[in-house]
């Protein structure tokens, strides 16, 4: 019996462990799954996300980790209900500025990608409390990150960062900061410890 896509609340590929890693594309009718709140396609060989993923307006969670995806569609900014975005282990080089439209986003995980810079617009994600950016190619962190007043955990391990903006002292809720494996010297570390006296800093 064929299931009406409109009745599905979750889109999950390959619950069968034997099939994981063998899926290379999404079904052509993916945009018909208009009522799904969770989109989970991790651990496959998918290279392209649907250009109009933003039409899936009810999405609250997206997990696309461990694929071959290089580009996040700009339409992601239309997902006003999105709370969790996990894009780990993909050759993604940038996060689109349109992400600012994800006004409910609480967790953004982009570990082991190829991201070289963050958009200034990331500072508009005022509900973000977890930002995980380990294992990328970041050289700098935009000052706009200092507007993320709810940020609790910031992971920047193994990038190429030399300096963290002084305004990070504005993040009173920040309790965990990981800057190990960067180009931060001892003077910068001491400065951070003074700016964030109540934060656990891993160096």
pLDDT tens track, the chain, 203 positions? 456 777 777 888 755 455 566 799 998 888 899 999 999 999 999 999 999 999 999 999 999 999 999 999 999 999 999 999 999 999 999 999 999 999 999 999 999 999 999 999 999 999 999 999 999 999 999 999 999 999 999 999 999 999 999 999 999 999 999 999 999 999 999 999 999 999 999 99
Q: Residue 174: which region, alpha, beta or left (left: phi > 0; alpha: psi -120 to 50)? A: beta
d(CA 191, CA 179) in angstroms, rounded, equals: 13
**The pTM is what?**
0.93
With a CB cutoff of 8 Å and minimum separation 6, the contacts of 80 are 57, 101, 102, 103, 104
Provide the CATH number for the domain around residue 66.
Answer: 3.80.10.10
The boundaries of the domain holding residue 49 are 5-202
When divided into structural domains, the chain yields a total of 1
Within 13 Å of residue 102, how many CA atoms lie on the same side as its CB? 32
Q: Which two tokens stand for residue 47?
A: 């290279």
Q: Check if the beta carbon of residue 143 is closer than 8 Å to that of residue 166.
A: no
Instruction: Look up residue 170 and give its two tokens.
Output: 């504005």
Beta strands in the chain (DSSP E): 10-12, 38-40, 61-63, 84-86, 107-109, 130-132, 153-155, 176-178, 200-202
């Amino acid at each position: 019996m064929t299931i009406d896509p409109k009745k599905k609340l979750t889109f999950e590929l390959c619950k069968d462990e034997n099939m994981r890693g063998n899926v290379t594309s999404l079904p052509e009718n993916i945009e018909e799954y208009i009522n799904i709140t969770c989109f989970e396609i991790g651990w496959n060989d998918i290279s392209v996300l649907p250009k109009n993923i933003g039409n899936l307006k009810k999405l609250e969670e997206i997990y696309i980790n461990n694929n071959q995806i290089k580009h996040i569609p700009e339409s992601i900014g239309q997902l006003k209900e999105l709370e969790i975005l996990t894009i780990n282990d993909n050759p993604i080089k940038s996060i689109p500025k349109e992400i600012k439209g994800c006004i409910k986003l609480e967790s953004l995980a982009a570990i082991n990608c190829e991201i070289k810079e963050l958009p200034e617009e990331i500072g508009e994600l005022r509900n973000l409390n977890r930002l995980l950016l380990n294992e990328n190619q970041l050289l700098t962190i935009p000052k706009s990150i200092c507007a993320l007043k709810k940020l609790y955990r910031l992971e920047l391990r193994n990038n190429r960062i030399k300096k963290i903006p002084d305004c990070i002292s504005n993040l009173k809720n920040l309790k965990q900061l990981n800057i190990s494996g960067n180009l931060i010297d001892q003077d910068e570390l001491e400065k951070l410890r003074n700016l964030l006296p109540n934060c656990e800093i891993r160096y």
